[in-house]
Each structure stands twice: as structure tokens, then as C-alpha cells.
Amino acid sequence: MIFGNARPSKGSAGSESFSQGDRTRRTILAGAMKIAACEGLGAVTIGRLAKKLRMSKSGLIVHFGSKQALELATLETANRVFADAVIRRAQAKRAGIQRVWNFCDLWLQHIEQHIFAGPYFFTGTFLEHVDQRGPIAEAVTAIAQEWFNALRKAVEEAQEKGEISRKAGPRQITWELNGLLVGAQWAYLLKHSDCWREARPALLAQLRELATGEIPSSAFTSERNWKKYLQRKSSLA
């Protein structure tokens, strides 16, 4: 479950009370994530959220103590959503260039499938806060770094397996792949649908340049051919 697995215990008034409070907290965080995903974390205010959820400001703030605590909890919850949908699913795939591809493919899917209410959450929040100081900026930077490190590790593993060339370092390769992903998201936000559809072919072209001779270049000519190659490789493993 995205928001944890707390359940009420029968026969205990205290447990029932905690469960109700936990459900309210989840509702608040879901509303905060929806606003932040569409407009950025800065758009989340106590007054707006209370109005949206038909709660009093005091009733809302009692669950978090401050606007900053609410923002931090929203970031933490959104990060769990993203990690479950992208990072952990990609890490479950076979190490090597396939895992690198899955990191990128799942990143695009989280935009296409509207895992958040809008495609703006982490990109917008990062641009809002990355050059600032304080707990929010530190949390945003840590989330971005977690993603970057996970993708870089996948690249390093692919190089160790001899599936990605060592002509470039893993950090440089990761920045290049991440740049394509962010560019695709910008195209999505700007409604440049033709550019958005080119995201995966562009990633495959990049991987073709990075791949060692072990993988036939024909595998990278289309997403269909790439999936066929991965299926054949999996059946021979």
C-alpha cells in the first residue's frame, strides 16, 4: 500500500481513534499531492487544502503541526509512490542494459499513466526549491539524488556485465539519459505530442550508442524489436 498498512484494532477505543486520525492524514496528503502534482508544492497552502477537503484550518494543521511539516510529509509520501512505481520495479529486472532501459521506460510510464494527478510534481518541486536552503530544499535534493544514484548504479552494473561501453563514465551516461527523460516531460507539459512519442526511440538510439558489440544494432531500431530481443535473451538465460 502506498500510504502504509495501519488497520484499526477491534475492542480498543484508542486504536479506533488512531485509525480515524490516520485515515484523515492520508486524505490530507492525497489532497496535497494532487495540488502539488498540478501546480507545484508551493501551491499547497493550509487554507486552500482545508477548503478543498472541507475541513477547518485548525483541524487540518493538528495532524502536522505546521505548513513545513505538511510539505515534508507530502514529499515523503510522493517519494514512496514514485519509488514503488519506478525505482523498485526497475530494480526487480535483470541487471544490465535491460535494467537501464526499464528505469527509463518506467519513468516515462509514471507520466503517461498519471500516477500523480499531473506531470509536474518532482520536476516542478525541484526547480522551485533546489537553490534554496532549509528542510524542504534538502528533502527535494535528497529525492532527486536517490533517483540519480539508482539510475547510475544500473548503468554501472551494465558496464560491469559488458553490455554498456566504458568509453564514458556512468555519471555522464546517467546525466545524458536523465536529460532525455526531462526533455520528454517538458514536451508532454507543452503538449508537443509528436516530440513526446519520440522519447523511447530517442532512448533506444542513445542505448545503441552506449551498447557494446554483444547486442545487435537491429535490436535498437524500434521498441518492438527491442522487446523481442529482450524476450529472446530471457528465454536463453
On whether the pTM is more than 0.85, the answer is: no
C-alpha cell at 128: 522551485
pLDDT tens digits along 87-145: 999 999 889 999 999 999 999 998 888 888 776 677 777 777 777 788 988 998 899 89
13-236 maps to CATH 2.40.160.60: no
* Pairwise CA distance, residues 237 & 227, whole Å: 15
The CA distance from 74 to 153, in Å, is 27
Structure confidence at residue 207 (pLDDT): 95
pLDDT of residue 16: 45
Average pLDDT across the chain, whole number: 84
The DSSP-derived string for 111-159 is HHTTSSSSTTHHHHHHHHHTTS-SHHHHHHHHHHHHHHHHHHHHHHHHH
Pick the residue with more confidence: 150 or 57? 150
Share of the chain above pLDDT 70, in %: 90
| Identity of residue 79 | N
The pLDDT of residue 4 is 30
Q: What's the one-letter identity of residue 4?
A: G
Q: What is the pLDDT of residue 44?
A: 87
164: β partners: 211
Give yes or no for a contact between 164 and 100, defined as CB atoms under 8 angstroms apart. Answer: yes
One-letter amino acid at 108 equals L
Domain segments of the chain as ranges: 13-236
pLDDT bucket at 12, cuts 50 / 70 / 90: very low
List the Cα angle 195/198/199 in 5-degree steps.
Answer: 100
pLDDT at position 102, please? Answer: 96
The residue with greater pLDDT, 51 or 4, is 51
Higher pLDDT, 55 or 121: 55
Mean pLDDT of the region 208-236: 89
